[in-house]
């Protein structure tokens, strides 16, 4: 695999109540294209901060963030917004679906600023919903969907523009075990069959088991990166 993401000496520093907090402290990390990475560590360890920096939702105070050969930390706000729209799909713990829109309409949202026609947007949304096995619920609003179905709709929205990178922040945190396993199996499928690079923040060791790499953080520092060893004959 080739390197997709390169973080070099990255720090993110906040001031809270007069106290300086190093949310991320001199982190350097290489992420392979097509890899599935789980970020683990206690609350406040820097997991979400790292995810936000890679996704261009935040900027480092020190160091560089390079994704696909582009130094996203040096981009202007407009350049970064355009880059995110083309390269990144986001999946959040709280689903972030718009209640008054159907599943299909929610999935179409990232395409509204694209040059696609209405017919083309609907076709892209239909394909994304089919990938997550939700075509039969396309015309249902979020309140008519289970938690697992809502998260699958959110994943369809994340992949509708065919991004190379999916960032998932505690995607199973609000789900029961069966629904969580279904969402994790879906993420693993997107990684395996479509080659999507997936970075997932999680507290759940069972969720991390779906990933090929586990990145351990603590107090803003990168502790280790463990690669899963495939079983013999797998």
β-pair type (213-218, 36-40) = parallel
CATH no. for 3-95+164-227: 3.40.50.300
Q: What is the dihedral of CA 162, 124, 132, 99, to 10 degrees?
A: 110
State residue 220 phi and psi, 5-degree precision. 85, 0
**Per-residue model confidence as pLDDT tens digits over 150-178:** 999 999 999 999 999 999 999 998 888 99
- pLDDT exceeds cutoff 50 at 232: no
Residue showing tokens 């159907």: 102
What average pLDDT does range 180-184 have in this prediction?
92
Here the tokens at position 187 are 């993420």
Residue showing tokens 């936000």: 52
Percent of residues, the chain, with pLDDT higher than 70 = 97
Contact predicate 34/211, CB 8 Å: no
What per-residue confidence (pLDDT) applies to 103? Answer: 96
How many C-beta atoms surround the C-beta of residue 176 within 10 A?
12
Residue extents of the structural domains in the chain: 3-95+164-227
How many C-beta atoms surround the C-beta of residue 203 within 10 A?
14
């Amino acid at each position: 695999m080739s390197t997709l993401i390169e973080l070099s000496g990255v720090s993110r520093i906040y001031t809270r109540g007069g106290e300086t907090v190093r949310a991320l402290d001199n982190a350097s990390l290489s992420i392979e294209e097509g890899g599935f990475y789980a970020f683990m560590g206690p609350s406040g360890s820097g997991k979400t901060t790292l995810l936000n920096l890679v996704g261009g939702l935040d900027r480092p105070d020190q160091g560089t963030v390079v994704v696909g050969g582009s130094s996203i930390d040096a981009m202007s706000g407009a350049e970064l917004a355009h880059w995110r729209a083309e390269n990144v799909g986001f999946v959040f713990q709280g689903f972030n679906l718009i209640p008054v829109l159907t599943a299909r309409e929610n999935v179409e949202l990232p395409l509204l600023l694209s040059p696609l026609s209405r017919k083309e947007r609907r076709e892209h949304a239909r394909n994304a919903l089919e990938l997550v096995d939700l075509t039969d619920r396309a015309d249902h609003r979020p309140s008519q969907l289970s938690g697992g179905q809502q998260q699958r709709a959110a994943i369809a929205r994340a992949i509708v523009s065919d991004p190379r990178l999916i960032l998932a922040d505690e995607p199973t945190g609000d789900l029961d075990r069966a629904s969580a396993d279904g969402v994790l199996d879906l993420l693993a499928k997107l990684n395996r069959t479509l080659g999507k690079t997936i970075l997932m923040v999680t507290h759940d060791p069972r969720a991390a088991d779906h990933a090929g790499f586990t990145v351990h953080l603590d107090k803003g520092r990168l502790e280790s990166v463990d690669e899963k060893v495939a079983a013999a004959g797998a």
